[in-house]
Structure 1
Amino acid sequence: MSKGSQARYLVIAESLKPQIAAMAPDTLLPTENELAAQFGVSRVTLRQALKLLEEAGSISRTRGRGTVVNPPKIVRNNIPMRTLEDDFREQGIAFETQILGFEASTQPSKEVREHLRLAPKERVAALRLLRIVNRRVICVEERYCRASLAGRLDLDEIRSEGIVEILSRLSEQPIETVEFETEILPSSGEIASALGLTRGTPVLQNSFVYFLSNGEPVETGLIAYRVDRCKFRAVGRFPLAGKSAAPAKDAGKRSMPHGKSAGKSRGGNGKS
């Protein structure tokens, strides 16, 4: 493709953005032939523009139906920290939790064992969840806690109540801190399948460890978000001019591998 053609599809994508933003969700766009004629380009160039908009989450293209406008992206508030359940409820976002799998006792990976500080032969409970908003998958979660807690986990409660609250109650003390790391990564086969993506499509992935008030780790895992359906917000305050920021407390008396950062939670709830 020539440089001129490449520049042209970028211009077309930018021209379509405000038009799409003004349309209601599920509105059908003109056909590729009509849009190509409108901009005076070939369908090849037009498809490049539509591909950019699809990857950004603005539109969806379905064989046999055409190109439709997507709903606005879900906002996930990361700072101040709150769980996904609390965040969505505060925003008035109705969501569904699907349980993809649950194992009451399984052999942990080396990383999970280290994060939960498990004894050599200690096993874990494994839980996989899918979060859905307006019939659209938003994220998939892989969560691990000590197997000793699994016998008291109620799967029906997990569908309606926050996991942080459940684990705090079962542990008889609040979850007060969380260590987490955020990365943009190519999706693995399992994650891509759960999210309805092609393997290797980039996702935003949060890896986390929750700590009880006594400093003991109680849960670890990851949450992978579809970046075409979510955007992320952080609200904080800079330190006063001329003063350095106070050093962060060692939340779990340790650091997660590869520089994972620790954050203090509000009201006993960590980040999800």
Structure 2
Amino acid sequence: MANEPKFALIKKHITDQISAGIWKEDQRVPSENELAEQFSVSRMTARRALSELTDNGVLTRSQGLGTFVASLKSQSSMLEIKNIADEVKERNGEYSAEIIALEEIAAMAPIAIALGVDIDSKVYRSVIIHHENGLALQAEERFVAPALAPDYLVQDFTQITPHEYLSAVAPLTEAKHTIEAIMPNQDVCQWLGLYNEEPCLQMIRRTWSANGIVSFTRLISPGSKYRLGGHLTFKKRVR
């Protein structure tokens, strides 16, 4: 801890205050100047801590008003693929995973088409529930092309996420996804511990490596616990 960078200590202080419920949603947090004075650091160091927490969706900044605790819904970017374990850890949460299924199946037509393989050919299927602080955050049902990840079924996905593993053995070159609101079926309610039906956010994603389609994935999160966001910067047109 003694060798930990000062900006990291500031980030931990802020996330600890939020996790403990001391700083509430939409509450203003100390300014760069106030944090710089409190931690005896430069304003630039304090700014880095606030900026990184803002980028991670923990804080939100309003020009001229200050920096505030963001909505307590977990946030993921629509514009990039991030590892969910990293997202949780960036919020100073405790990540864990539960494996529901890890098996070889015969590809039905929709799965075969999505993976670009023959109908009834063998593909790998996993169902994993991602947790944050012990609560189900996201259900991931993934279908994988065995030719591009032959050792998929022998991985311990409580220690490494499928995204991490596939990124290592079949580096991502392209991804396409669609996002929609759905009402969960009985399986999804059981996976996510939903006792009262509530709308969920579903993302369907296909990923490619240089050698072809790697996976076809369905990611489902309770609408009350998850949201998607992004930030775009547009170049000014030269007149």
TM-score of the pair, normalised by structure 1: 0.56
Counterparts in 2 of 1:128-139, with a 5 A limit? Answer: 128-139=127-138
Tell me, yes or no, if the aligned pair for 2:94 and 2:134 is still in contact at 8 Å: no
The structure 1 segments of at least 4 consecutive aligned residues displaced by more than 6 Å after TM superposition are 21-25
How far apart, in 1, do the equivalents of 2:193 and 2:72 lie?
A: 18
State the percentage of identical aligned residues: 16
Check conservation: 1:76, 1:231, Cα contact below 8 A: yes
Q: 1:154 to 1:119 in 2, by over 3 A?
A: closer
Whichever of the two has the greater Rg, that structure is: 1
Letter in 2 for 1:79: L
1:232 to 228, 235, 239: 228
Residue 207 in structure 1 maps to residue 204 in structure 2: yes
Tell me, in whole angstroms, the C-alpha distance in 2 between the residues paired with 1:84 and 1:74: 10
- Aligned-pair distance for 1:136? 1.1
Q: Which residue of 1 aligns with 2:101?
A: 101
Please state whether the residue corresponding to 2:111 is helix, strand or coil: helix
Q: Please name the residue that 1:125 is paired with.
A: 124
When residues 152 and 81 of structure 1 are mapped into structure 2, their CA distance, relative to the original with a 3 A threshold, is: closer
CA distance in structure 2 between the partners assigned to 1:167 and 1:156 by the alignment: 11
> Residues of 2 paired with 1:180 and 1:74: CA distance?
19
Counterpart among 209, 213, 220 of residue 216 in structure 2: 220
Q: 2:181 aligned with 1:184, yes or no?
A: yes
Aligned ranges 1:157-176 → 2 under 5 Å: 157-171=156-170, 174-176=171-173
Amino acid at match of 1:76: S
Q: State the Cα deviation string for residues 102-150 of structure 1 (Å, max 9, x = none).
A: 11x2122322111110024422111000011111111111000124467
Q: Taking CA–CA contacts closer than 8 Å with sequence separation of 6 or more, which of the two structures ends up with the larger relative contact order? A: 1
Consecutive unaligned residues of structure 2, counting only runs of 5 or more, are 1-20, 26-70
Partner of residue 76, structure 2:
76
2:111 — aligned with what? 112
Question: d(CA) in 2 for partners of 1:148 and 1:217?
Answer: 10
Report if the CA contact (8 A) 2:88-2:132 is conserved. Answer: no
Shift of 1:190: 0.7
Partner of 1:8: none
Letter aligned with residue 101 of structure 1: A
User: How many residue pairs end up in the alignment?
Assistant: 174
**1:152 touches 1:170 (CA, 8 Å); kept in 2?**
no
Question: CA contact under 8 A between 1:189 and 1:199: conserved in structure 2?
Answer: no
Kindly report the root-mean-square deviation, in angstroms, between the aligned alpha carbons of the 2 structures. Answer: 2.9
Deviation at 1:178, TM superposition (A): 0.9
Could you tell me which amino acid in structure 1 is paired with residue 183 of structure 2?
A: P
Matching residue's letter, 1:93: G
Matches for 1:187-198 after TM superposition, within 5 Å: 187-198=184-195
1:143–1:220 Cα contact (<8 Å) kept: yes
Letter in 2 for 1:222: R
Q: Is the 8 A contact 2:108 2:119 kept in 1?
A: no
Distance 1:233 1:120, change over 3 A: closer
Give, in whole Å, the separation in 1 of the partners of 2:145 and 2:207: 12
Superposed displacement of residue 155, structure 1: 5.1
What is the CA distance between 1:242 and its match in structure 2?
7.0
Partner Cα separation in structure 1 for residue 81 and residue 152 of structure 2? 24
Contact 1:192 1:198 in 2 (8 A): yes
- Equivalent-residue separation in structure 1 for 2:129 and 2:204 (angstroms): 16
User: What SS class does the counterpart of residue 223 from structure 1 fall into?
Assistant: strand
2-side partners of 1:206 and 1:194: how far apart? 16
- 8 Å contact kept, 1:188–1:199: no
